[in-house]
């Protein structure tokens, strides 16, 4: 039986690290954890290239500076770590005490000195990664509750973090591009947008025609929007339209992703 390049690389790494190293449990969601870890490295690279003097500039998110985005990504790692504590111990540990507490935390974090803000991101992501690595096999299927109130298995935290780090790297507005995203991640992000719309029962009449991918028809079809998959995903996730064409000449208004 053939193995993937990633599986082969993982096996080689384990051999180099020796018997004393610790690894994700066999029941861990390997693909999503790989996306999350690669996305964390991508966000870190964009952040490292961002001078302290430019942290106060606006992000792509209305009302948020780049500082707010960095604080949010850092505190999100801590919140997901709390869910893993819930999964591991069985003691209910919510992501946030309340929406108001979450918002206040981000506002406070955005005022941190630049060095402390960068440390918040780096320290919290290490803590989250250790929590993933040490989560027992059975705990990955334990039910936890998201900030939106959905009950999900703890393995969902890997996908939740994947979205955060990759897409918020775009929000820093400092050179990140969906053209840097792994192709299979782009496919899943497109599917996630559609799942969100369906969950909220949004009425959407739209045909999505990404180059090289299957056309997606929503509702009555509506206008056809075409472009590369990275550009389509950027638009669908609310991060702006670039190099897209519409059969009606203008891009339609679409519902929000989150």
pLDDT at 53: 98
- Reading the chain (258 residues) residue by residue, the pLDDT tens digits are 556 666 666 566 556 555 557 789 999 999 999 999 999 999 999 999 999 999 999 999 999 999 999 999 999 999 999 999 999 999 999 999 999 999 999 999 999 999 999 999 999 999 999 999 999 999 999 999 999 999 999 999 999 999 999 999 999 999 999 999 999 999 999 999 999 999 999 999 999 999 999 999 999 999 999 999 999 999 999 999 999 999 999 999 999 998
Looking at the structure, tell me whether residues 203 and 107 fall in a common domain: no
Q: Do 191 and 148 share a structural domain?
A: no
Residue 18: CATH number of its domain? 1.20.120.450
Q: Are 59 and 147 in a shared domain?
A: yes
Domain check: are 70 and 170 in the same one? yes
User: What are the DSSP calls for 73-116, one per residue?
Assistant: HHHHHHHHHHHHHHHHH-S---S-S-HHHHHHHHHHHTTS-HHH
Per the structure, the complete domain to which residue 91 belongs is given by 5-176
CATH number at residue 230: 3.30.1050.20
Side-chain half-sphere of 195: how many Cα atoms within 13 Å? 6
pLDDT for the residue 23: 87
Same domain? For 12 and 121 the reply is yes
Number of domains in the chain: 2
* The two three-digit tokens of residue 255, written as one number: 């519902």
Quick one: 171 and 189 in the same domain?
Answer: no
Instruction: Check residue 15 and give its pLDDT.
Output: 62
> Among the three residues 176, 202, 229, which one is the final residue of a domain in this structure?
176
Q: Which of 154, 176, 198 is at the close of a domain?
A: 176
Give the DSSP H or E segment for 193: helix 183-199
Residue 195 sits in the same domain as residue 139 = no
Last residue of a domain, one of 152, 176, 200: 176
Shared domain for 70 and 193, answered yes or no, is no
Same domain, 210 and 124: no
Q: Are 88 and 141 in contact (CB under 8 A)?
A: no
Q: What is the pLDDT of residue 258?
A: 86
Helix crossing, 114-134 with 66-89: angle to 10°?
30
Q: Is residue 251 part of a domain?
A: no
In a domain, 172, yes or no: yes
**pTM for this one?**
0.91
C-alpha to C-alpha distances, 147 to 21, 100, 126, nearest whole angstrom: 33, 12, 22
Residues 171 and 191 both lie in one domain: no
How far is 89 from 131, CA to CA, in rounded Å? 12
Q: Is residue 254 situated within a structural domain?
A: no
- Say yes or no: 171 and 240 in one domain: no
């Amino acid at each position: 039986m053939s193995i993937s390049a990633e599986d082969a690389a993982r096996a080689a790494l384990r051999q180099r690290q020796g018997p004393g190293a610790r690894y994700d449990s066999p029941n861990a969601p390997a693909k999503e954890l790989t996306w999350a870890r690669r996305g964390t490295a991508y966000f870190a690279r964009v952040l490292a290239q961002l001078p302290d003097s430019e942290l106060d500039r606006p992000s792509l998110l209305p009302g948020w500076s780049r500082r707010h985005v960095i604080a949010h990504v850092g505190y999100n790692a801590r919140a997901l770590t709390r869910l893993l504590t819930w999964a591991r111990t069985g003691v209910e540990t919510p992501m946030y005490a309340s929406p108001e507490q979450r918002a206040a935390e981000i506002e406070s974090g955005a005022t941190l000195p630049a060095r402390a803000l960068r440390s918040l991101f780096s320290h919290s992501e290490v803590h989250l990664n250790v929590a993933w690595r040490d989560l027992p096999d059975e705990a990955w299927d334990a039910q936890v509750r998201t900030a939106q109130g959905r009950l999900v298995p703890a393995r969902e935290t890997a996908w939740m973090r994947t979205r955060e780090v990759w897409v918020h790297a775009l929000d820093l507005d400092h050179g990140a591009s969906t053209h840097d995203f792994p192709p299979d991640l782009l496919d899943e992000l497109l599917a996630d947008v559609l799942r969100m719309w369906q969950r909220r029962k949004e009425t959407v009449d739209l045909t999505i025609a990404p180059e090289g991918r299957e056309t997606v028809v929503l509702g009555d079809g509506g206008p056809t929007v075409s472009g590369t998959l990275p550009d389509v995903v950027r638009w669908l996730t609310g991060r702006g339209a670039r190099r897209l064409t519409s059969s009606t000449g203008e891009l339609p208004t679409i519902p929000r992703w989150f």
